[in-house]
Amino acid sequence: MADTESKKERRDRELGELLQEMRVAITGVQVLFAFLLTVPFSQRYTQLSRSQKGVYLAAVLSAAVSSLLLIAPAANHRLLFRDGTKEHLLKAANRLVIAGLFTLALGIGLSLYLVTTVVYDDTLAVVLATGVGLMTVFTWFVFPRLIKASADD
């Protein structure tokens, strides 16, 4: 397929693929962000320690930044529509989405840590958040590189 595609067709296809991938990530960050925004309104929030509230704030900020980064390519596309910048837009959008995934991973880890400290204890929270964080880094960022390396062989 790539051999018969024109540059324009390839850019259009790649932009469509990027937008589809963003839909998955945006749904994840929306669910996380919505959950985090309800936390201060629960009765148990007042029982959180100062450090737990700090983790909570960091999780909310991570989710907010992730949301902004993942939505930015759609806003950029709309603002630059038909300006002849699609190739540049695609490269910039790719960087924004990767940064958004990093901040989403951080928000997930911090949220898991916070919930585990409330439900169980700090030691288990560190173990679980670290384990899930490492799994996320591997599956989202390392594994694709391994696939590429094996495909290049």
* 65-72: average pLDDT: 93
> Vertex 56, ends 53 and 58: CA angle to 5°?
115
* N-to-C CA span, the chain: 21
How sure is the predictor about 75, in pLDDT bands with cuts at 50, 70 and 90?
confident
How sure is the predictor about 62, in pLDDT bands with cuts at 50, 70 and 90?
very high
CB-facing half-sphere around the CA of 87: CA atoms within 13 A: 5
Mean pLDDT, all residues of the chain: 88
- Annotated domain spans of the chain: 7-152
Res 19: pLDDT: 77
Task: Look up the pTM and report it.
Answer: 0.83
CB 116 within 8 A of CB 128: yes
CB 22 within 8 A of CB 70: yes
Res 142: pLDDT: 93
pLDDT at 138 over 90: yes
Residue with tokens 């397929």: 1
d(CA 23, CA 65): 16
User: CB-based contacts of 39: which residues, under 8 Å, 6+ apart?
Assistant: 45, 56
Residue type for position 139: T
